[in-house]
Amino acid sequence: MSIELRPRAQRRAKISALGTYVPPRILSNADLATMVDTSDDWIMQRLGIRERHLVEPGMATSDMAVEAARRCLAQRGIMASEVEVVIVATVTPDMFFPATACLVQDKLGAHGAWGFVDDLVPNSPRKPIRIWMEVGDRDLYNPNTMRDNMHDWVLANEKMAAALAARHYHYQFLFAKDAGHVDHATKLQTLPEALEYLWQGYPKK
């Protein structure tokens, strides 16, 4: 027996342009020294920070990302309409839903870029799976950022349910009243039914 090793086709990727943005307002160590008992030397020795950029009220993560993206597109010499995908990694999103990448896509005008709910589910072949989605009206509830005592996690599940229904997926969407994130009492009531629904039709071993 002989084994022939064929060379693997190489797919290369490269960074062809880079755009950055920081808010213009600066708070230096000298500025801090006028507010609290500190000095530039003390901060530099312990933190290595000389100045920091402050966002103005009303400026969100997506706003800064859009500015950086515009500079990147200008350096690359392409239009926003030519962008195929927008990926945003952040620990300070504008909101839970829609994703910050969707907001950047809209503000940037990159309407040809795909998103999971808007493009990936509708335009991909339907998978032979069942889906169980469960959300409570107080799931990840934060009254300081949410609107009308509701929140974006609920809207995210509702939008995903609509996308799944349009593609004729087998799914269940359970909305629990007065339930928080991974609510224990709700799970005790719904977990058996969820497992039975997801595993129905599978052969027993």
Mean pLDDT calculated for residue range 2-24? 75
| pLDDT > 80? residue 64 | yes
Question: pTM of this prediction?
Answer: 0.58
pLDDT at 178: 79
| pLDDT > 80? residue 15 | yes
Helix, strand, coil percent values for the chain (each to nearest 5) = 40, 15, 45
85-137 per-position pLDDT tens digit: 888 988 888 877 678 888 898 899 988 786 655 667 777 788 888 999 888 87
Using 50, 70 and 90 to split pLDDT, how confident is the model at 1? very low
pLDDT at 66: 96
Question: What Å distances lie between residue 42 and 33, 38, 71, 113, CA to CA?
Answer: 10, 6, 36, 47
